[in-house]
Amino acid sequence: MNDLEQHILEAQDAYYNGEPIMSDAEFDKLWDELKRKFPDSELLTKVGADHTDGFQKAQHLMLMGSQNKANTAYEMDKFFKKGQSYIASLKLDGISIELQYQNGHFIKGVTRGDGEIGDDVTENVRKMKNVPLTIDEAFTGSVRGEILLFKSDKEKYFPEAKNCRNQASGLAKRKDGKGCEHLSVLCYDALSIDDNRTWSTETMICNYLLGNGFKISPFVERSDWDGEKAIDYIHDVWTYLDTIDFDIDGIVFKQNLIDWNDKKTSYRPATQIALKPARDEAISKVTGVEWRMTNGTLTPVVQISPVELNGTTVVQANCYNAKQLEVLDIEVGDTVAVVKAGLIIPKIVENVSKDKRVKDY
């Protein structure tokens, strides 16, 4: 247990401070192994910390925990309760932030930290897009969101960046705030410290945020969810993933009727869950490479020997761009590892022949 916990803590520290040492899929496997073998581990009740030296620390108004995770329709079936309404929203892959307001005026921006105390990055947040500095005068409390570097802004301002999340993390923690004007904040939760009963449903919170100038994570509300419908929904989202201008890594489902005790006291609330389908890998041989034009961009499509993956036969797989093809050094005859991102799109993530792997996919 100690070995697993240490490995997870090292991965969390690297992830929250902008230099991941493993892919999300690899981390999820470690986490699931800890949960399966040692369900009493205290680490399972905590969240990773993103404290950075040089920043003042600030107390959260809202406990900033994380979601429990599900991979399968069976797990989702156990989460849903018949007759209950739930909202589903895109799980934003960015940097968690709390926006604190007093009498309707923005006064502080605090990173997640350890869930209770985070870094005060107020001046950087003031420069970011979609952060209303003045809202409803009666509101004193916090709004929770995610700092994101949109894909279009990455290509325009930081084309050399490895990925959007790492770049956003680095910019958000810059002492001089340079580049923060290219970051955006999307929100998904709020807490009024004067009257928690103001909102009885998650839908009401989303509508309040929209009505006060915030940009939010897109959501849908339904009362007929079950495991299969949840999997079908994430499948649908993954079919248009390339058209979304920011990174996501799953779907968050929340019970629409708010349990304030659960929300205020739980690091991992029982009334919400993140669906992140497991990414099985298959090994195959490269038989050729084709180039296809998509929206004016040439994209390499690697032809592979037929292989079974998530219930279908795969004969070709994408590389994200020419750079990835170069990084993996793919040639005809190489042995490669293939995954289905979101159980839909086959992707090459490793050149086994040359021991070269993509860390983030």
Displacement of CA 269 from its chain's centroid (Å): 17
Respond yes or no: is residue 229 known to be catalytic: no
* CA pair distance 211, 215, nearest whole angstrom: 10
In the structure encoding, which two tokens stand for residue 18, read together?
Answer: 């902008």
Q: Token match 């079936």: residue? A: 77
In the structure encoding, which two tokens stand for residue 79, read together?
Answer: 């989460």
Nearest in space to 287 (alpha carbons), one of 344, 322, 330: 330
In the structure encoding, which two tokens stand for residue 293, read together?
Answer: 């034009």
Question: Do strands 57-59 and 281-294 pair parallel, antiparallel, or not at all (unpaired)?
Answer: unpaired
Other beta carbons within 10 angstroms of residue 119's beta carbon come to: 23
DSSP state of 64: -
Catalytic residue among 57, 91, 178, 254: 91
Contacts of 292 (CB under 8 A, 6+ apart): 298, 299, 301
Find the distance separating the first CA and the last CA of the chain, reported in whole Å. Answer: 28
Using an 8 Å Cβ cutoff, are 248 and 276 in contact?
Answer: no
The residues that are catalytic are 91
